[in-house]
Amino acid sequence: MGLYSVNLEHSYFPAQADDEVLETTVGGVLRAQAEATPDAEALVEADMAGQLQRRWTYAELLANAERMARALLSRYRPGERICVWAPNIPEWVILEYAAGLAGLVLVTANPAYRPRELRFVLEQSRSAGLLMVGEYRGNPMAAIAAEVAAQIPGIREVVDLEDTAALYAGDDALIALPDVKPSDPVQVQYTSGTTGFPKGAVLHHRGITNNARLSYARMGVPAGAVTLNFMPLFHTAGCGMSTLGAAQLGCRMILAQLFDPAKMLAIIAAERVATMTGVPTMYVALLEAHAARPVDVSSVQVAAAGGAMVSPELVRRMRAVFGCDFQTVYGQTENSPLMTQVRSSDSVEDLCETIGQALPCTELSIRDPQTHAVAPVGAVGEICVRGYSVMLGYNDDPKATAAAIDAAGWLHTGDLGTMDARGYLRITGRVKEMIIRGGENLFPAEIENVLLEHASVAEAAVVGAPDERWGEIVVGFVRLATGAELDRPALVTHCRERISPQKTPAHWIAVTEWPLTGSGKIQKFVLRDRFVAGEFERA
């Protein structure tokens, strides 16, 4: 996968055929690797304390996945949806493969979800079952699951992933696994919605398996390498790129239940980790922990970062401290997820200032947001992608699907960028109002709707402000109801009961009037700029 040599006049990059799209499925890639390297270690559990616990070879992982697939088929029909609501535990990965083998569609849910968020995902996805854990980091998941499931007639069972008997109930060797096709839906992953309601991106086997393989190939991950996966499994980077990339190269994947930078460094040193994927916030934390207590990180060959803007300084520090190649990737859930990636052989300038060229078999274009015409080279426009990895659509939402994927098959990302004559991309901003905090996409409308439910709030506007650690943080502007005062603790409690902690504003600003457009809309960019300039008193 060498550099693609092109000299473009317009911001259109044709699909490159230096690799191919394989007709693969999630269950199929595990089965193939178990046949090729049955005795190689496939999965290692790192618990909350960062201690290595249970282990599976590829043969054992496949055997567990097939057993669980048969158990699931005794309770569900192929094509039905089941929701996994848990942190990074081995059962999550086994369930991912089992659902793939059984032809079931896995719905992924953030273990930080509060009741209203979980209920929305279960109802919108039409999930028939919920597989979860009892508790995670103070979130009483068993109690929430019982409360929510009781309100949804379609949920036939709630199963604790750590209850082995319940998880494998119904397993029968006589149950035949179905013929699963690469084009079949495999996962529904929820992205925060601009209307305040998340949208479920329906991904397919072909998309997530090939995307992971092609990304790991460009990273240069050696076959059989030790990989450390601390990305949340409910994201495509965790269960897609990191898990399925490792499987297709026969890697030994250490799955971290909790990202604790000091403990991750200890695992890297002790287990001679060769590769990892994270968001910039995680790498900043690793560098800080390493500065406080250095360990031997010389085994790391390549690290990849995406999910938020990667600063040139972070690229330089990672290369200097870890002595490894550091690659920036760019994608979004709707594309399974990756579109572009730098190469280790790229110049320092390209590594630091671009998001690379397209991955193989992927078309990219930069288009005028108003006319959708392909922009000249160097002109700012909306980044659009077309290819094997584009989602099937948004679950039960044809209107949103039509708005995202045009008649010619182009997925409109909502991100603004430029393409140079060599096909290298740069991100310049966003068409949408999305906030990216620590690699997680947050949408103001969802948070604003929650703020407006509080009796003291008459109007609300939420913006993202730059932050060194998180990339962006949430700032909540409120115009208070007559006679009300800004009560930060009450507003924080209100938010934490209804939405995940990361969506709760870090700063609260009371305003008496808004900067408005001619049509009466709040000018959020003005609020953001004034906040950054320090004009507001913060609560």
pLDDT of residue 97: 99
pLDDT of residue 196: 55
pLDDT of residue 522: 80
In this structure, of 51-60, 304-313, 322-331, 371-380, the range with the lowest mean pLDDT score is: 304-313
Is residue 154 predicted with pLDDT exceeding 50?
yes
Position with higher pLDDT, 316 vs 218: 218
**Consecutive H or E run containing 398:** helix 398-404
What backbone phi and psi angles, to 5 degrees, belong to 396? Answer: 50, 35
pLDDT of residue 309: 66
The structural architecture, per CATH, of the domain 438-532 is 2-Layer Sandwich (3.30)
Q: What is the pTM of this model?
A: 0.87
pLDDT band at residue 520 under the 50/70/90 scheme: low
Average pLDDT on 269-276 reads: 98
pLDDT of residue 341: 97
Dihedral sign for Cα 111, 112, 117, 118, please: positive
Q: How many helices (H) and strands (E) does the chain have?
A: 16, 26
pLDDT of residue 308: 65
Position with higher pLDDT, 195 vs 27: 27
- CA gap 175, 171 in Å, rounded: 8
Average pLDDT on 402-409 reads: 96
Give the torsion through C-alpha atoms of 420, 426, 431, 432, to 10 deg. 160
pLDDT tens sequence across 81-111: 999 999 999 999 999 999 999 999 999 999 9
In this structure, of 52-56, 194-198, 222-226, the range with the lowest mean pLDDT score is: 194-198
pLDDT of residue 181: 98
Please tell me what DSSP assigns to residue 311: P
pLDDT band at residue 397 under the 50/70/90 scheme: very high
Is residue 192 predicted with pLDDT exceeding 70?
no
Average pLDDT on 316-321 reads: 94
- Give Cα separations from 410 to 268, 401, 420, 478 (angstroms): 40, 11, 20, 38
- CA gap 412, 414 in Å, rounded: 6
pLDDT of residue 314: 87
pLDDT of residue 517: 60
Q: By CB neighbour count within 10 A (0-12 exposed, 13-18 middle, 19+ buried), where does 197 fall?
A: middle
Radius of gyration of the chain, Cα coordinates, nearest whole angstrom = 23
- For residue 115, whether the previous peptide bond is cis, meaning omega lies within 30 degrees of 0, is no
Position with higher pLDDT, 3 vs 119: 119
- CA gap 295, 170 in Å, rounded: 47
Nearest to 142 by CA among 117, 160, 121: 160
Average pLDDT on 340-355 reads: 92
CB atoms within 10 A of CB 529: 14
Q: Read out DSSP for 141-174?
A: HHHHHHHHHTT-TT--EEEETT-HHHHTTT--TT
pLDDT tens sequence across 5-30: 999 999 999 999 999 999 999 999 99
- CA gap 515, 13 in Å, rounded: 40
- CA gap 41, 59 in Å, rounded: 9
Is residue 195 predicted with pLDDT exceeding 70?
no
**Between vectors from CA 273 to CA 272 and to CA 274, what angle results, nearest 5°?**
115
Nearest to 194 by CA among 447, 471, 437: 447
Average pLDDT over the chain, rounded to an integer? 94
In this structure, of 75-89, 169-183, 324-338, 455-469, the range with the lowest mean pLDDT score is: 455-469
pLDDT band at residue 538 under the 50/70/90 scheme: confident
pLDDT band at residue 452 under the 50/70/90 scheme: confident
pLDDT band at residue 518 under the 50/70/90 scheme: low
Is residue 62 predicted with pLDDT exceeding 80?
yes
What backbone phi and psi angles, to 5 degrees, belong to 254? Answer: -95, 120
pLDDT band at residue 444 under the 50/70/90 scheme: confident
Q: Which two tokens stand for residue 21?
A: 């799209």
pLDDT of residue 194: 44
pLDDT band at residue 313 under the 50/70/90 scheme: confident
61 in the Ramachandran plot: left (φ > 0), alpha (ψ -120 to 50) or beta?
A: alpha
Ordered by start, the domain boundaries in the chain are 438-532
